[in-house]
Structure 1
Amino acid sequence: MKTYTLYLREELAHGWQDKAIFTWLQTMPGEIFRDKEGRRTLRFEVNQKSYFLKYHQGVGWAEIVKNLLSLRLPIISARNEWQAVQFLQSHDLDTMTLAGYGEKGWNPAKRHSFVITDDLTDTMSLEYLGQQWRDRPPSFTSKYQLIQKLAHIAGTMHKNGMNHRDFYLCHFLLDKSFAETNIYQPTMPIYLIDLHRAQIRQKLPRRWQIKDLGSLYFSAYAVPLTQRDLFRFIKTYTQLPLREALTQKADLWQQVKQRADTLYAE
């Protein structure tokens, strides 16, 4: 059975109407960030507008088997990414904007697929919060509101059945003006990116919830957080009174801490 999916936003569809899209994207020139293991990631421009392309060329059966033997789910298509973008958007969470996606072929080892998103320009990664906040502590309000926002993103995502699998601060982007002002307001978007490993189910299994939260907590170890900061995250994430969140889900938070400590020790 042959599978074929193709979507291009109007400006790309018009500019590439004379091209065999999969063949064109497979070798299209641009600023390359990755080109190995069947995946090609690059930035390119069309009419002075910047985009990101992730092209999957099929990883082969050897790579699929190697991942399965290592108890890892192989990434065989860009479909994960575009469906995760659509999922986040449907739940009013900020993420990348789709400009195109496609997939062809029934054989998982040879399947070709791609996703194109608008380039998120003038943004910074939250990975730099540790150094920034050690040098310049934020106001209580900015810190509180940023923690609330991250907890809302994580809670909404998990409650509705999606896990990220690379849920670190480096995969959250916000306007780079934050690096200068150190002021965060609730109206400022925080974009969740790098969704190629995301999974979506009716209900999120506990182990994937722990892995996501443990990864996020580990990546925040360098950020000067207090116990009250952690409690604020927990309260917003669970949407429960703090006492209930800590007592009813005590084992969850203990396992999250263990996961974070394990990552730190590696």
Structure 2
Amino acid sequence: MQSLYLRDDLEAAVCTGLPGAPVGDDDVFTAMSRLEGEVYRRAAGRSTSRVVIAGKAYFAKHHEGVGWPEIAKNLLSGKQPVLGARNEFEASRRLRAAGVPVPDVAAFGERGLNPARRRSFAFCDALDGYCSLEDIGHGWLATPPDINLKRALLAALGRLTAAIHARGVCHRDYYACHV
């Protein structure tokens, strides 16, 4: 089983010479899976990095399969296992269609029938020029902000969270560094 989605602008970049990406779904999947950039996070079987393709920045999330022990652990604890990048791809598309301001997915690929060994990737537009809530709050212990700023940020975060949950999405990685 294989799925491949490339947004029009990224497909054009791939077709006009993304390094190592000859035409054809199998070759594009492999080339996109191998793209690396500045690594932001690396864990067992997955990584997140910032890559630049044709002058445009993306955050690339690569999944290499979680293995049966991880699947069993999640199921036994009552959680739906995250088997790859498909959850993020579908959630982003659903939220954007509903007008929720989330990064757009520029590329998604998935390969493999075995859920424990399925490989996938998702490339989202980088949000250059934005500050995360973590960045904004850095140093607040030493220099607290104006109470009105804190209230405005809390209200905005509450509205965003309510909009995400109202669309049936549960963000399992919802930290200040991601908002």
Q: Same fold (TM over 0.5)?
A: yes
What's the C-alpha RMSD, in Å, of the aligned pairs? 2.4
Q: Bigger relative contact order, structure 1 or 2, given CA contacts below 8 A and separation 6+?
A: 2
Q: Distance in 1 between matches of 2:143 and 2:48?
A: 34
2:44 corresponds, among 37, 40, 61, to 37
The amino acid across from 2:105 in the alignment is L
Q: Structure 2 matches for 1:72-87, cutoff 5 A?
A: 72-87=79-94
> Where does residue 8 of structure 1 map in the other structure?
6
| Cα pair distance change 1:57/1:131, threshold 3 Å | same
Structure 1 segment 180-219 matched on structure 2, within 5 A: none
> 1:68/1:27 Cα in 2 relative to 1: closer, same or farther (>3 Å)?
same
Aligned pairs, number:
169
> Which one is further off, 128-137 or 58-67?
128-137
Is the aligned partner of 1:68 residue 2:75?
yes
**Alignment correspondent of 2:166:** 159
Q: Aligned-pair distance for 1:42? A: 1.6
Give CA-to-partner distance per residue, 1:216-247, whole Å, 9 cap, x none.
xxxxxxxxxxxxxxxxxxxxxxxxxxxxxxxx
Out of 99, 106, 131, which is 2:106 matched to?
A: 99
Partner of 1:260: none
Q: Structure 1 residues 134 and 84 mapped into 2: Cα distance closer, same or farther (>3 Å)?
A: farther
Q: CA deviation at 1:96?
A: 0.9
Q: Distance in 2 between matches of 1:145 and 1:34?
A: 30
Match of 2:18 in 1: none
Which of 52, 60, 65 is equivalent to 1:53?
60
Aligned pair in 2 of structure 1 residues 146, 81: CA closer, same or farther (>3 Å)? same
- How many angstroms apart in 1 are the aligned matches of 2:49 and 2:145? 36
Q: Judging changes above 3 Å, is the alpha-carbon distance between structure 1 residues 136 and 36 closer, same or farther for their aligned structure 2 residues?
A: closer
Answer yes or no: is the 8 Å Cα contact 2:95–2:167 preserved in 1.
no
Aligned counterpart, 1:88:
95
Residues 130 and 41 (structure 1), Cα distance of their counterparts in 2 relative to 1, 3 Å cut: closer
Larger helix proportion of the pair: 1
Partner residue, 1:237: none
- 3-state SS, counterpart of residue 54 of structure 1: strand
- 8 A contact 1:25–1:55 mirrored in 2: no
TM-score (norm 1): 0.56
Structure 1 144/36 Cα, relative in aligned 2: closer, same or farther at 3 Å?
closer
Higher alpha-carbon Rg: 1
CA distance in 2, matches of 1:125, 1:114: 23
Q: Report the equivalent of 2:143.
A: 135
Three-state SS of the structure 2 residue aligned to 1:67 is: helix
